[in-house]
Amino acid sequence: MDQCLAELSAVTKRFGKIVALDGLDLDVRSGELLAVLGPNGAGKTTAISLLLGLQQPDSGTASLFGQSPLRVESRRQVGVMMQDVTLAPELHVRELIEQVSSYYPDPLSTNAVLDMTHTGQIARRPYSKLSSGQKRQAQFAMALCGRPKLLFLDEPTVGLDIQAREMLWATLRALIREGASIVLTTHYLEEAEALADRVAVLAKGRVIASGTVDEMRALVVRKRVTCRASVASEVVATWPGVEIATRDQQGLHITASNAEDVVRRLLAADPDLRDLEVRRAGLAEAFTELTQENAQ
Amino acid sequence: MNATTALDMSHKRSTSVAMPAGRLFRAYVMEAKFETIRMLRMLGFAVPFLVLPFALYLFVGLFLGKEGGNARIVDQLFAGISAFGVMGPGMFGFGIAIALERDQGVLALKRALPMPPAAYLFGKMFMAMLFATIVMITLVIAGTLSHAPITAWQYLSMSIVNVLASLPFCAIGMFVGVFTSGKSAPAFVNLLYVPMFSIGELWYEMPKSISWLPPFSPAYHLKKLSLWAASAPSGNDGALIHIAVLAALTLLCSFVAIRRLTRVG
């Protein structure tokens, strides 16, 4: 799993006065699904553009399979699904797949791609007649058709219904099992949580945290406490270490940096407390905390 | 069939990055094929550019035939409408398509994918030349229907010149397409297209006071070249100057546009 397939090393990229990437180091290893997360403007798209040879770094180096991403040979091992693409509305899904397949030395058959991505039903439909979810499925099929070793997926499940999203996730897991590597940029943190082997959080053009999903969660000291108790949420909110305390029909919800102390005080205040649950922060909390810290 | 089964059956990772010559050729063919299919399905593009020159020549040609139009006028008309007919697919097919595809992210996607670098332009060039060929075939049919006094050899030589000479107009379209947005490209292409055929003496000769103006239009040089190929009266300049102007224009526009496409996209 340690072979490096794509790498940005000390990369800086400026657009006028804006520094999009500020000495960024990022690598993609063989057999992993790397989720690249970050708030808008963090530099995710610029980083991916550099890895695909769409832009050049001002300083530092970008490499893809040990070569410059500008070399077509390096990109023959890559599949790409971009977010903001409007494909030829007149062409049918099957034709779009055939067109992209022709760029690769040993592509899958079009029928195999349609089977894999469950797009057989829309194969003969013009791209303009597809729903937004079906368009994403067609683009996913185009990304897979060349048997890529490395897939770049930018927000692949935007617009997909739950069933289509589950199928896409299953395909991604199967690709990873087979040895493919995937770089996923997404705003759906549950998607990264469900799929990623490793997460890289970008902010202001730098990687501010990188590791497994569990390692990311561990970076956050906050925990969530929920219970049914008679103590007023306004009172709990004044306790030391409590950041947020709210009440709804499900009970009392507390976010605290010292959950154990809060639980002790809750039990002391209400011996009849029920349905107590203490959970570690999820990736969403970790992401929010990391990016907020960086913004300060 | 679930995803896992399909993958197990058919999905093995690519091991070779070398592109066999046959596959490379196929990539060019497929790019040309789908660009042509796309433009033929786009009725707003295909119908005006394929039907208008035919209808125009048939309409005027029938009147000329009835009134016993002389060979010189018929040659001039055929050469003028031919030039008009092949300009459009090149300028609009390249210019607007490239501008739109840059806006819509298609060009970025193709640059990120391993598309052979020249296949994109080859596809569009093939499409424009195929449209030019269809335009010339329809014009020959219109000429035959209107009993134009043009020989088979003249039809053939003028057709070859016009199909080849669609390339300078592709280059002009490409030049416009790489510097404009999808929304503004039609206006900018028209800004060149309309003056080009208006001052190019395609239908009528300019007044003597502004006779210096037509050589500034590439369409003028195409018409002169077309007449020269048909051994019809084409002025005293000879073919070389017209070939040189069109070739220089092609090289200049292509150089600037390709340089920008590869650097900026």
Distance CA(A9)–CA(B180), nearest Å, equals 34
Contact present, A46 and A199 (Cβ < 8 Å): no
Among A57-66, A237-246, B169-178, where is mean pLDDT lowest? A237-246
User: Rounded to 5 degrees, what are φ and ψ at A247?
Assistant: -130, 140
Q: pLDDT band at A127, cuts 50/70/90?
A: very high
Tell me the range of A154-158, B63-67, B95-99 where mean pLDDT is highest: B95-99
In the sheet with A274-280, reading across from the earlier edge strand, the strands are: A242-248, A251-256, A223-228, A274-280
Residue A292 has pLDDT above 80, yes or no: no
Confidence at residue A146, expressed as pLDDT on a 0 to 100 scale = 94
**Mean per-residue pLDDT for B166-178?**
94
List the single residue in B with minimal CA-CA distance to A142: B113
Distance CA(A20)–CA(A42), nearest Å, equals 7
Amino acid found at A255: T
Residue B167 has pLDDT above 70, yes or no: yes
List the single residue in A with minimal CA-CA distance to B265: A54
Confidence at residue B263, expressed as pLDDT on a 0 to 100 scale = 78
Confidence at residue A194, expressed as pLDDT on a 0 to 100 scale = 87
| Chain B residues near residue A108 by CB distance under 8 angstroms | 10-11
Look up residue A51 and give its two tokens. 């890895």
Answer whether residue B46 is part of any domain: yes
The closest alpha carbon to A118, from B7, B113, B34, belongs to B7
User: Rounded to 5 degrees, what are φ and ψ at A254?
Assistant: -130, 135
Is the domain spanning A223-280 CATH 3.30.70? The answer is: yes
Confidence at residue A56, expressed as pLDDT on a 0 to 100 scale = 92
Answer whether residue B13 is part of any domain: no
List the single residue in B with minimal CA-CA distance to A103: B115
Contact present, A228 and A273 (Cβ < 8 Å): yes
Taking an 8 Å cut-off on Cβ atoms, the answer to whether A95 and B37 are in contact is yes
**Mean per-residue pLDDT for B33-57?**
91
A27 part of contact set with chain B, CB < 8 Å: no
Specify the higher pLDDT residue, B233 or A137: A137
Q: Which residues of B45-69 are buried (b: 16+ CB within 10 A; e: fewer)?
A: beeebbebbbebbbebbeebbeeeb
Amino acid found at B216: F
pLDDT, one tens digit per residue, over A20-36 is: 999 999 999 999 999 99
Q: What is the pTM of this model?
A: 0.83
**Mean per-residue pLDDT for A93-115?**
95
The complex scores an ipTM of 0.85
A interface test, pick of B11, B107, B124 with most A CB neighbours within 10 Å: B11
Residue A273 has pLDDT above 80, yes or no: yes
Q: How far away is chain A from the Cα of B91, in angstroms, using its nearest Cα?
A: 19
Tell me the range of A229-238, B142-151, B233-242 where mean pLDDT is highest: A229-238
Answer whether residue B5 is part of any domain: no
Handedness of CA B254, B256, B258, B259 (dihedral sign): positive
Handedness of CA A172, A174, A177, A180 (dihedral sign): negative
DSSP 8-state code for residue A220: -
Q: Can you give the residue ranges of every domain in chain A?
A: 4-218, 223-280
Domain that holds residue B190: 21-263
Q: Where are the alpha helices (DSSP H) in chain A?
A: 44-51, 72-75, 93-101, 110-116, 132-144, 162-177, 189-195, 213-218, 233-236, 259-269, 283-295
CA-to-CA dists, residue A49 to A34, A39, A63, B111, angstroms: 16, 17, 12, 10
DSSP 8-state code for residue A17: T
Contact present, A55 and A49 (Cβ < 8 Å): yes
**Mean per-residue pLDDT for A48-70?**
94
Amino acid found at A63: S
List the single residue in B with minimal CA-CA distance to A152: B112
Q: How far away is chain A from the Cα of B41, in angstroms, using its nearest Cα?
A: 6
Confidence at residue B70, expressed as pLDDT on a 0 to 100 scale = 67
pLDDT, one tens digit per residue, over A153-181 is: 998 888 888 888 898 999 999 999 999 99
Q: pLDDT band at B8, cuts 50/70/90?
A: very low
Look up residue B97 and give its two tokens. 């398509």
β-bridge mates for residue A254, sequence order: A225, A245
**Mean per-residue pLDDT for B16-45?**
91
| Chain A residues near residue B127 by CB distance under 8 angstroms | none
pLDDT, one tens digit per residue, over A215-244 is: 877 776 678 899 999 899 999 999 998 888
Looking at chain A, the whole-number percentage of residues with pLDDT higher than 70 is 94
Confidence at residue B156, expressed as pLDDT on a 0 to 100 scale = 94
User: Rounded to 5 degrees, what are φ and ψ at A78?
Assistant: -125, 140
Residue B65 has pLDDT above 80, yes or no: no
Confidence at residue B67, expressed as pLDDT on a 0 to 100 scale = 64
Residue A192 has pLDDT above 60, yes or no: yes
Q: pLDDT band at A187, cuts 50/70/90?
A: confident
Residue A94 has pLDDT above 90, yes or no: yes
Q: pLDDT band at B125, cuts 50/70/90?
A: very high
Specify the higher pLDDT residue, B64 or A173: A173
Q: pLDDT band at B6, cuts 50/70/90?
A: very low
Confidence at residue B173, expressed as pLDDT on a 0 to 100 scale = 94
List the single residue in A with minimal CA-CA distance to B119: A103
Lookup result for tokens 């992401």: A287
Answer whether residue B122 is part of any domain: yes
Q: How far away is chain A from the Cα of B24, in angstroms, using its nearest Cα?
A: 8
| Burial of residue B15, with CB atoms counted within 10 A of its CB: 0-12 exposed, 13-18 middle, 19 or more buried | exposed
**Mean per-residue pLDDT for B178-186?**
92
Confidence at residue A93, expressed as pLDDT on a 0 to 100 scale = 97
| Chain A residues near residue B93 by CB distance under 8 angstroms | none
Distance CA(B34)–CA(A254), nearest Å, equals 58
Look up residue A44 and give its two tokens. 């995710």
Residue B2 has pLDDT above 70, yes or no: no
B264 part of contact set with chain A, CB < 8 Å: no
Q: pLDDT band at A124, cuts 50/70/90?
A: very high
Taking an 8 Å cut-off on Cβ atoms, the answer to whether B30 and A90 are in contact is no
Class of domain A4-218: alpha beta
B208 part of contact set with chain A, CB < 8 Å: no
Number of domains observed in the structure of chain B = 1
Residue B5 has pLDDT above 50, yes or no: no
Answer whether residue B16 is part of any domain: no
Rounded to a whole number of angstroms, the CA Rg of chain B reads 21
Handedness of CA B237, B240, B243, B247 (dihedral sign): negative
Contact present, B215 and B221 (Cβ < 8 Å): yes
